[in-house]
Structure 1
């Protein structure tokens, strides 16, 4: 199984804002699970299995459960994928640093936690560094680490 966090982008949720998100900026992130094995697996990516932190102090983001789309007991066949879409909100100034931790459940067994690091606007060079400088170093290292962990998990 391969877990990939991608398409972190700012934007309003489809069914309106949560009242608790007043003064916060919404963003969405996709969590895709790909079956690289040779048999189907039943997967779960539900509330409580995803943790989102923002800013340098790792403050918890507000997760909008009503707008988010989870994966609940879905059979993913070999070479197929399933994607969860998570809507969250946090202070706009903290969104340049976002950490997403996912703990997948496969066939009623818990997999190891996977951590992804990135940020809204990182690809735009918003920090004053050359475009992509932070992403090419830290995010690339995290991506390589996660790929290695995923490959070890399927072996």
Structure 2
């Protein structure tokens, strides 16, 4: 694992799995379709998707289940609850050339920790384990949309405020705003 992907980015595989790519996307608050798990009492549910795309001329057998995902939330990287009963995994699916397959997964965590979500995925392809890759993002529950040239109303800790501060420092003193 080199550096984390941003949620929504594609990760290309190389070596023995060249032509396959995977992404974690669609991170949002959502209630599970078959009801809440008792173990998630007091937690906020969220949903995300893991999509595998085959850009080769051969087919691969794809396997993705709960033991191949690790979901960490908050600044301390605490484990989130993965609701395996409501999640739709990829279990032994043959993905043919120019096709995609998507798993829809439900997890739950404390609402206050959803400003930082890290999801690590390790696929099994034709009985071979792939490299693990990490995606980072947030659910965006705490930040309003910010227009061009506008300042966020949230505190200096918001991601938008950090980006604006970084860009202002890079521009240097005396640059026009």
Which TM-score band (shorter chain)?
0.7 to 0.9
Q: Which runs of 5+ in 2 are unaligned?
A: 1-19, 146-151, 167-177
Q: Which has the higher helix share?
A: 1
Task: State the structure with more CA Rg.
Answer: 2
4+ long deviations beyond 6 Å: none
- Distance apart, 1:12 and its partner CA: 0.6
**Which of 43, 56, 61 is residue 24 of structure 1 equivalent to?**
43
Superposed CA deviations along residues 102-150 of structure 1, whole A, max 9, x for unmatched, are 000000000000100001017745864475966xx9xxxxxxxxxxxxx
Q: 1:43 aligns with which of 62, 71, 74?
A: 62
**1:9-38: per-residue Cα shift (whole Å, max 9, x none)?**
001100000001111000001000001112
Relative to structure 1, is the Cα distance of residues 124 and 107 closer, same or farther in structure 2, using a 3 angstrom cutoff?
Answer: farther
Residues 1:15 and 2:23 are matched in the alignment: no
- TM-score computed with the length of structure 2 as normaliser: 0.71
Give the Cα separation in 1 of the matches to 2:67 and 2:159: 36
**More relative contact order, 1 or 2 (CA 8 Å, 6+ apart):** 1
Question: Taking structure 1 as the reference length, what is the TM-score of the superposition?
Answer: 0.80
Q: Does 1:72 align with 2:108?
A: no
Relative distance call for 1:105 and 1:132 in structure 2 (3 A) is farther
Question: SS of the counterpart of 2:122?
Answer: strand
Distance between the aligned counterparts of 1:95 and 1:74, measured in 2?
Answer: 31
State how many pairs are aligned: 135
Q: Of 100, 112, 123, which aligns to 1:93?
A: 112
Supply the RMSD in Å over aligned alpha carbons: 2.1
Residues 62-114 of structure 1: CA deviation (Å, up to 9, x unaligned): 01010000000001011110000110000001001000000000000000001
Distance 1:25 1:13 in 2: 11
